[in-house]
Structure formats: C-alpha cells, structure tokens
Amino acid sequence: MQGAGHRVAITGYGVVAPCGIGKQNYWKGLLGTTAINSVSVGIPDWDPLPYFSNPKEARRADRVEQFALAAAQEAFAQSGLPEVAPSRFGTIFATGVGGLHTLEEQVAIRLDKGDRRVSPFLVPMMMVNASGASISMKYNLQGPNETLCTACAASTHAIGYAARMIAWGQCDAVVTGGSEAPATATSLAGFGNMTALSSSGSSKPFDVSRDGFVMGEGAAVFILERFDMALKRGAKILGEIVGSASNADAHHVTAPSPGGVGAIACMQQALEDAQLQASQVTQVNAHGTSTPLNDSAEASAMTHVFGPHGVAVTSGKGITGHALGAAGALEAASVLLSFEHSLIPPTAGTTNVDPAMEIDLVIGAPRRWTPGPTMSNNFGFGGHNGSLIIAPG
C-alpha cells in the first residue's frame, strides 16, 4: 500500500455461504451451474451449535452473528493465532443491516403480545456491531474494535481499513470481513417494492435480460497480519492486500453516478495506492448485482479503466445472491480461492452478455489463469464505492 510502513499478509480465512459452508465447499458451489430461482437464497439447514459453547449462547445470537463466528472459527483454524499482544490485535468488521431477523421477530411479538414480552436480548442481538464484538471477545482481541456499515460496500471498506491499520503501525494483526442475514419478510417487501429485486427470481450479472438482484446471506472472515511477522512465525501467506480505495458518488441515494464516474475514480485510486498500472491487474471480481443501472455503470467504469475487453471479469452473485454488507468479504474469499486453484469462476446465470458492454466476462465455464493482482469492487446505496486489490502470496 502506497507510503505504507508494513506489508499486509492474509494468513487465514473462513466462509459461510448459501452454496457451501467452509471455503472449499464455497468454491465447489461457485463452480456449479445451479441457477437461482427465487427472490432470495439462504443457507439451508443452518446449525449454529458447533460454533457456540452451549445452545443458550447460540439462541442469544442473531443469525448474522452466528455466521460471523462460524467463519471466524475457520479463519483462525487456518492461520493459528498470530503471535501479537492482544492490545495490538484489532477487529474491523462490516455489515449492512445487522440483526434484522431479531428486530423483525421482536416487533411482531410486541405488536401481538405487548411490551413486556419483548426479549431483553433484543438490543445486543440486533446491534450492528454484535458480530465484531463477539469475535473480539471470543478470541480476546483488545485492539481497535470497529464496525463499518456502508451498505453493500461495507466489507470491502472494512478489509481495506483493516489493512491500513496494519500498514500504518496501529495494529500488528486484524480480523476483518463481514456478515449479513438480511432476508426477512419486511426487507424483501421493501427491496421488492423499490424494484431492486429480480422479478424473474434469477441473478444474471451483466446479462442483457438482467432485471434485479436476488437477496443472499453469509459471511467471510480474514486474518490479516504484518507480512514480516507472519513470515517469522512460519505462517502460510495466502495473499497480500496491496491497495484499496474508498470514495463517494455524491449523486443519488440508490442510483450510481452516470457512466460510473465515482467507480472509475475509486478504481484508479486503488491502482495508485497499489502502485500498479491497470494492465497489471489480471482479474476483476465485479460487484455485478444484476440490476440494470448498476451493471451498466460498472461495465462502463471497467471499460474506462482497463480498456474494452481489457481484463477478465467475473461475478459470483449468480450463485450466492447479493449478501449486501457481506458481499465484498465473500468476493475477496473467491479471489483467494481463485489464486489457490488457478481458475476464474464463471458468472453463473449469465448467458447473453449485454452487447452494450465491452467487458471480458467469464461465463459458461471456469477459465484457467496464472494468478496475479486482482481487483474486487463493491458499490453501495448512499453512493459508497470500494475497491480492493489483492495479490497472490
């Protein structure tokens, strides 16, 4: 990262996703061809008990927190606990809406049964910082503990911010990522009534017939640490955060700036931070939500930055749906798996790329590649833009 005092290594990560629990099951799911046929896709038969000390503890955690702890367990199992003081180990986490299931359930109970029946655990279960707080307490992480809530760009922002905390010497290690469980009845009604959801129940990023996104859920958690300290303790380096950027469209609460002007600036700032030329980026993991306006603006932005058909592009949302604040974390995990397997996963659901888009979208089958610097982009309601550049370890 430009001007940084320390390089930032990724030494562990974990994933909970609708297409697979655990990162290798997630990867198998990303390579699958099962089409979504619903306005939302969730994690079937979810069992939180393996990630908690007892059933009571699990019941007192919203689904979003359960996902976060499950992904964190896999991440720490891979990395081991970095050899840093607890006060130098931070937690920078992300979500878009937090414990929405708990909030909606308790509102229904209050309306039906009265104030006295509302759970005393409502507040700690619904608060957006619950996931990061629970991770820090479970692993005794006493450094900065902050939660970012920048809609669908939140996880990308969190990972970039976490890397800067290490690069600038504020922390020696940080656990980061994001979690989301947003598909409640009221949430789906709201997104549906604003015509953001797919009317056909199908996610087709950049397809000429795209008609909205499919709601997803899940979590991905990463262990970042100082590169030199990770090498010293013999940790395996899975990847390196080499650049990131964040900016705002300042245009509209839900629509992107025309032509992807804000996204262009964000991607260029990330390249500058990484001290890379656009030609050195060999894959873009796109936001690719399958909405008409956002896909169009993002495609225009990528063409501006990388040239027509200038870089391989993929989106996982045809398989995972759109996990809002956790999307960037799930997609960063996809990048690391792409490094490991030397494959770029296809953009599921997409069969006919919009001819107005001059992008090299990977569709139909995975594409073999030589892993290199990869950009992961996410853009959120409110005009939030986030770009992250990850290099192979």
Q: So what's the pLDDT on residue 3?
A: 57
The single residue of 152, 157, 171, 304 carrying the catalytic annotation is 152
The single residue of 6, 101, 304, 322 carrying the catalytic annotation is 322
How does pLDDT run along the chain (393 residues), one tens digit per residue? Answer: 755 689 999 999 999 999 999 999 999 999 986 768 899 999 999 999 999 999 999 999 999 999 999 999 999 999 998 999 999 999 999 999 999 999 999 999 999 999 999 999 999 999 999 999 999 999 999 999 999 999 999 999 999 999 999 999 999 999 999 999 999 999 999 999 999 999 999 999 999 999 999 999 999 999 999 999 999 999 999 999 999 999 999 999 988 998 999 999 999 999 999 999 999 999 999 999 999 999 999 999 999 999 999 999 999 999 999 999 999 999 999 999 999 999 999 999 999 999 999 999 999 999 999 999 999 999 999 999 999 999 999
Cα 125 off chain centre by:
21
The single residue of 157, 287, 304, 384 carrying the catalytic annotation is 287
In angstroms, the CA 159 to CA 166 distance is: 11
Domains and CATH numbers, the chain: 9-392 (3.40.47.10)
Q: So what's the pLDDT on residue 78?
A: 98
Could you tell me which residues are beta bridge partners of residue 226? 8
Q: So what's the pLDDT on residue 372?
A: 98
Q: Residue 53 carries which DSSP code?
A: S
- 287 an active-site residue? yes
Among 212, 189, 180, 156, smallest CA distance to 42 is for: 180
Q: What is the pTM of this model?
A: 0.97
- 149 an active-site residue? no
Burial bucket for residue 358 (CB in 10 Å: 0-12, 13-18, 19+): middle
Q: So what's the pLDDT on residue 1?
A: 74
**Are 228 and 373 a contacting pair, CB within 8 Å?**
no
* DSSP sequence for 257-297: PGGGHHHHHHHHHHHHHHT--GGG--EEE------HHHHHH
In angstroms, the CA 231 to CA 365 distance is: 36
- 322 an active-site residue? yes
